[in-house]
Amino acid sequence: MEKEIGKRIESIRNSMNMNKEDFAKLLGITGQYLGVVERGKSCLSYEKLKKLCDLTNLSADYILFGKNSPIKDETKHLLSEFTDKQIQNACMTLRNLAVFIKDA
C-alpha cells in the first residue's frame, strides 16, 4: 500500500514539474525523506498529507487509495486534529489491515 501511495505522490510531484527538494520544502520535509516516502518505505504524517491535499487540491482518498472522491469538510477537520503518534499508529493499523485483507 505504501508503495502505491509513494508512486502517486511521485506522480503528483512530476505533474507539477517539481524536483524532490522543492516539493519537499512545500510540504515541510526534507528531499531525502520525500524520496523515502516515494519509494514506499515510510508515509507522510496526517499533517503533511493534509498539506499535500491543500497544495494540490487533491483528496486524501486519491492520494491514499487512488480514488478521486471529495472528502467532506468534517473529515478534513478531524484529520487535522491527530497527533504525530496517532498518525504513526494509524499508518501501522492500515498496513496491518491491508495485509489481513490480502491474506483473507
Q: What is the pLDDT of residues 20-52, one digit of tens each?
A: 999 999 999 999 999 999 999 999 999 999 999
User: Domain spans of the chain?
Assistant: 2-103
Q: What is the pLDDT of residues 83-101, one digit of tens each?
A: 878 878 888 898 889 888 8
Q: Give every CB contact of residue 66 below 8 A, 6+ residues apart in sequence.
A: 4, 8
Q: Cβ atoms within 10 A of the Cβ of 76, count? A: 15
Tell me which residue of 11, 12, 5 sits closest to 58, measured CA to CA. Answer: 12
In a 10 Å sphere around its CB, with 0-12 CB exposed, 13-18 middle and 19+ buried, how is residue 88 labelled?
middle
Is 60 exceeded by the pLDDT of residue 69?
A: no
* Per-residue pLDDT band at 70 (split at 50, 70, 90): low
For residue 43, give the C-alpha cell.
Answer: 508515509
Q: What is the pLDDT of residues 52-62, one digit of tens each?
A: 999 988 888 88
CATH number, domain 2-103: 1.10.260.40
For residue 51, give the C-alpha cell.
Answer: 498539506
